[in-house]
Chain A
Amino acid sequence: MKNKVVVANEKQISKRITRNKLAKGLFLAATLFGMIVLATLIVRIVTQGIGYLDFGFLTSYASRRPEDAGIKAAILGTVWIMSITIPVSLILGVGTSIYLEEYAPKNKFTRFIELNLANLAGVPSVVFGLLGLTVFVRLLEMGRSILAGGLTMSLLILPVIVVASKEAIRSIPQEQYEAAYAMGATKWQIIRTVVLPAATPGILTGAILSLSRGVGETASLLMIGAMTFIAYTPTGVLDGFTVLPIQIFSWASRPQVEFQAVAAAGSIVLLIILIVMNSLAIVIRNKYSKRY
């Protein structure tokens, strides 16, 4: 009788151990798959493009000759677009999330807005491009300018920033609010001294991730009429622009093999910019996480 129970248990245990191993193997495979694909991609881009990546590539404009082609206009365009998108999307996004989490009454209407925000985060970027074309380019007569591009991009990443910021604010322990209230703080004082500092790491992580998406964004900017060839330095927000992914795409679709390599060199630049942005996010986040 006793033996039987032991045997049954052992069987069960070995079964569970096998299952555990299986699960581990599956997850390892999933991780490796992503890593291998990423490594292949990076190796391919780097081997293909490194030959064209030099100082001249960063400081000259696009050209019909692969050896003269450079990425200056695209880098400047991306920087200009980001210089509009970052403040606009951060101010609007964080403001919206603070209102929704701290001030808005918890009723059906608020829930409706929140649901729609989550949905907006999944809307294809072309649709935002159409919106930008109709509202910013045509209705508000901004033309095919940096301003229109930056605002369109802000709209595109806004939902993600709002959702991430809301999560960050929501995860602040209730006790911290109560402590602040107990000391007689007003709502605004609490937001300023408790909520924002504590939510900063989460907000920034969401913001940088969505900004990184913005840096790699093509479709919506093509829609509002971003250029492909530009040979001057923009001097204001109403000038035309091109951005890195559009320039890379344009090179990649050219018939000449040399241009594929130029496109790869452009991709390396884009990758480096993204890595720098993400590292910056991590540094800022760590700095603020330590405090709380």
Chain B
Amino acid sequence: MKRTNFVKMGTSLSAVLLLAACGNAPTDEGTGEESAEGSSGSVQVDGSSTVFPIMEGVAEEFSIENPQARATIGVSGTGGGMEKFIAGETDITNASRPMKEEEAQMLEEAGIEYTEFKLALDGLSVVVHPDNDWVDYLTLDELESIWLEESDVETWADVRDGWPDEEILLFSPGTDSGTYDYFDEVILDGEQIDREASLSEDDNILVQGVQGSEHALAYFGYAYYLENQDTVKIVPIENSEGEIVEPTSETVQNGTYEPLSRPLYFYVNNASVQENDTVYEFAKYTLEMAGEMAEEVGYVPLEEAEYEESLETLESLR
């Protein structure tokens, strides 16, 4: 008796959980492969966490319109997503920077053909504490000298005469993020960022850092600025034309807020588009919805014509 009790008890936990899991199983089955309600295959998306909110919105709507289809989205980061894309594990990968040369090369070696699509725009926002009343704008050179490891700018006074002689506290996204990569490339030409800067993969930490110190300076995605407009102050940036511009959906979209506006991308596996209707439908749906979704989650849509052009490119892949 005791023996059987032991066996029973040993598996009771797992049995309960198994039953719970199986209870949900049959709901999706039975309707067959081909359903009247759009596509019923699956599409695997992975990549940048910056792009994720847009894709989540798209996938949410897509799942409502195609209840039989299975769209899954991971957030392995731009680089991690590329790795899975190269391994052929995903159909679509999101990126907050253009594909690197070595990644393109590895894809070629793996025999994977792909197409790049722009999804939306993000304006990297440079922000300071709201009580910071001295910074009116920054030039690109000033930004570079502040953030560069090999420069002697340590205090605000080093940047411009008359600014307070207080050390600048720097907050930057972590080195795994495409945001960091982009800033490092356009502002620092790929040089070492100031080692005293606090790095965090969580942009909310950067926001808190700036809120906590009058002498702080940070940069992060536009969506995080939009959500915290009352507690941080935006710094207008002098663009290459000499205009002083602050990021808004207009200046990001029309390209005057440069070079800190960056496109967000998604890469599609061409073979997947040809062989898997769901991937094609999903990619098409993404391009149709991207503008609306981008706006909703705090990014800037591309011009309508660009989406239409992309849709034509997608059609040509079929």
Chain A residues near B112 (CB, 8 Å)?
none
| Minimal Cβ-Cβ distance residue in B for A200 | B6
Query: Are B28 and A86 in contact, with the CB atoms below 8 A?
Result: no
Residues of chain A from 231 to 264 with CB closer than 8 A to chain B in the complex: 231-236, 239-240, 250, 252-257, 260
Query: Are B56 and A230 in contact, with the CB atoms below 8 A?
Result: no
Cβ of B59 within 8 Å of any chain A Cβ, yes or no, is: yes
Bits for B1-24, please: 1 = Cβ < 8 Å to A, else 0: 011001001110110011011001
Cβ of A180 within 8 Å of any chain B Cβ, yes or no, is: no
Cβ of B70 within 8 Å of any chain A Cβ, yes or no, is: yes
Cβ of A144 within 8 Å of any chain B Cβ, yes or no, is: yes
Residues of chain B from 21 to 75 with CB closer than 8 A to chain A in the complex: 21, 24-29, 44, 46, 49, 52-53, 55-57, 59-60, 63, 70-75
Chain B residues near A227 (CB, 8 Å)?
72-74
Q: Give the complex CA separation of A200 and B11 in angstroms.
A: 12
Size range of the chain A interface in the assembly = 35 or more
Query: Are A233 and B27 in contact, with the CB atoms below 8 A?
Result: yes
Cβ of B87 within 8 Å of any chain A Cβ, yes or no, is: yes
Q: Give the complex CA separation of A184 and B223 in angstroms.
A: 75
Query: Are B75 and A280 in contact, with the CB atoms below 8 A?
Result: no
Query: Are A76 and B24 in contact, with the CB atoms below 8 A?
Result: yes
- Which of B211-219, B292-300, B303-311 lines the interface with chain A? B292-300
Q: Give the complex CA separation of A227 and B3 in angstroms.
A: 41
Query: Are A193 and B21 in contact, with the CB atoms below 8 A?
Result: no
Chain B residues near A87 (CB, 8 Å)?
11, 14
Cβ of B202 within 8 Å of any chain A Cβ, yes or no, is: yes
Please judge, given known A-B contacts A83-B14, A228-B74, A253-B203, whether A63 and B60 are in contact too, CB under 8 Å: yes
Cβ of A79 within 8 Å of any chain B Cβ, yes or no, is: yes
Query: Are A232 and B204 in contact, with the CB atoms below 8 A?
Result: no
Contact pick for B226, options A76, A192, A255, CB 8 Å: A255
B interface majority secondary structure: helix
Chain A residues near B84 (CB, 8 Å)?
225
Chain A residues near B73 (CB, 8 Å)?
227-230
Residues of chain A from 116 to 167 with CB closer than 8 A to chain B in the complex: 137-138, 143-144
Size range of the chain B interface in the assembly = 35 or more
Of A62, A83, A231, A235, which is in contact with the most chain B CB atoms at under 10 Å from its CB?
A231
Please judge, given known A-B contacts A79-B21, A87-B11, A280-B13, whether A256 and B227 are in contact too, CB under 8 Å: yes
Residues of chain B from 87 to 105 with CB closer than 8 A to chain A in the complex: 87, 89
Chain B residues near A193 (CB, 8 Å)?
2-3
Q: Give the complex CA separation of A227 and B227 in angstroms.
A: 26
Cβ of B76 within 8 Å of any chain A Cβ, yes or no, is: yes
| Minimal Cβ-Cβ distance residue in A for B55 | A229
Query: Are A235 and B29 in contact, with the CB atoms below 8 A?
Result: yes
Cβ of B224 within 8 Å of any chain A Cβ, yes or no, is: yes
Chain B residues near A200 (CB, 8 Å)?
6, 9-10
Please judge, given known A-B contacts A228-B75, A233-B28, A240-B44, whether A86 and B226 are in contact too, CB under 8 Å: no
A sample of 16 inter-chain contacts (CB < 8 A) reads A63-B60, A144-B44, A144-B74, A144-B89, A200-B6, A225-B76, A226-B74, A227-B74, A229-B55, A229-B56, A229-B73, A231-B70, A233-B24, A235-B28, A255-B203, A288-B9
Interface residues of A (CB under 8 A from B): 61-64, 76, 79-80, 82-83, 86-87, 90, 94, 137-138, 143-144, 192-193, 196-197, 200, 222, 225-236, 239-240, 250, 252-257, 260, 280, 284, 288
Interface residues of B (CB under 8 A from A): 2-3, 6, 9-11, 13-14, 17-18, 20-21, 24-29, 44, 46, 49, 52-53, 55-57, 59-60, 63, 70-76, 84, 87, 89, 201-204, 221, 223-224, 226-228, 293, 296-298
Supplied contacts A228-B75, A230-B73, A255-B204, 15 more A-B pairs, CB within 8 Å: A61-B63, A64-B297, A82-B17, A137-B89, A143-B89, A225-B74, A228-B73, A229-B59, A231-B70, A231-B71, A232-B70, A235-B27, A250-B75, A254-B53, A255-B223
